[in-house]
Amino acid sequence: MAGEIFLPLIFIILIGFCMKKRLPENAGATLSRIILNITLPALVITSMSTVSITITHLLITKIAVVHGLIMFGIAKLLYCQSNNTKPVLAISLLGFNIGQFAYPFIERMWGAEGLSYLIMFDIGNAIIVFGLSYYLAGSMSRIGDWNLSATVKKLATFIPLQSYLIALLIAVSNLQLPQLIQDILTPLAAANGGLVMLLIGFYLDFSKLKVKSVWKLVGVRYAVGLTMGVTLFLFFPGSLLLGQVLLVVFVLPVAMSVIPYSIEFKHDTSLAGAAVNVSIVLSIALLWILFALF
């Protein structure tokens, strides 16, 4: 089962990895913007339009926020010094790469119901990644042009978060999307999985897997994540599928946002790339193991 899910996706990742030398240097950034602003919102809205929202769905969003707050405290404790290295390690503890990594795996494994749980988790994750993580990156910066209003504005104008809220409103209101809207969004949503895998391959860089400080970072990150994931899998009330999704989300990679944040606030961008790459490789391995066990 795991092989049937992973092998096609891994081959697409390899295509992205092999093609990156033939494409312009900014192709990855362009592809990322297409995913975040077009195909991902389309997938979120079409997936949630058929879901009935329950208290459990709302609790999933709360779990993502609580985890983010816990990791924020750990980040402040471990990496409180504001030098060029520690801010990257601090923000790499917060949030997960869901929109640019997890959706194709969850969709192939569990379909629309699994996606509905993932989307609700991603709403809370977006608040952490584009709110708290951005605040931490700015507050630990030495360039002095960060302010709280910029964080609030970034959240309010972030298209993926807006699409989550629109999708949530549709689901809560039990609204039916007009056929024309469905016809437009459906092919865009279908393209998301392939584009995400290409993006992962484009950013994959095996030369960055030997950075010791990053391995210490992922050790903390995955230890906390697996502890929370296993605990929720065993004790959180709900279906087996919900427990499986909650276990999976806590082993997802470092959010891709650490790279643009590091550029914006003059942190160590090479270290940010290493954190993203190490966590992607590790997460793919862990997901393969978990899906095989499921």
Nearest C-alpha neighbor of 71 from the set 124, 128, 119, 126: 128
DSSP assignment string, the chain: -HHHHHHHHHHHHHHHHHHGGGS-TTHHHHHHHHIIIIIHHHHHHHHHTT----HHHHHHHHHHHHHHHHHHHHHHHHS-S-SSSHHHHHHHTS---IIIIIHHHHHHHHHHHHHHHHHHHHHHHHHIIIIIHHHHHHHT-SS----HHHHHHHHHT-HHHHHHHHHHHHHHHT----HHHHHHHHHHHHHHHHHHHHHHHHH--GGGTT-HHHHHHHHHHHHHHHHHHHHHHHHSSS-HHHHHHHHHHTTPPPPTTHHHHHHHTT--HHHHHHHHHHHHHHHHHHHHHHHHH-
pLDDT tens-digit profile, the chain (294 residues):
566 777 888 898 899 888 888 888 778 888 888 888 899 889 888 887 777 778 888 899 999 999 999 999 999 888 876 566 788 889 999 999 998 788 888 988 998 889 889 988 988 898 898 888 888 888 787 655 556 676 677 767 778 778 878 888 887 887 788 899 999 999 999 898 888 888 888 878 777 677 788 888 999 999 999 999 999 999 988 789 999 999 999 999 999 888 888 877 888 888 888 898 899 989 999 999 999 888
Global pTM reads: 0.86
Q: What pLDDT score was predicted for residue 229?
A: 94
Going from the C-alpha of 152 to that of each of 114, 128, 226, 253, 261, the distances in angstroms are 30, 12, 31, 25, 15
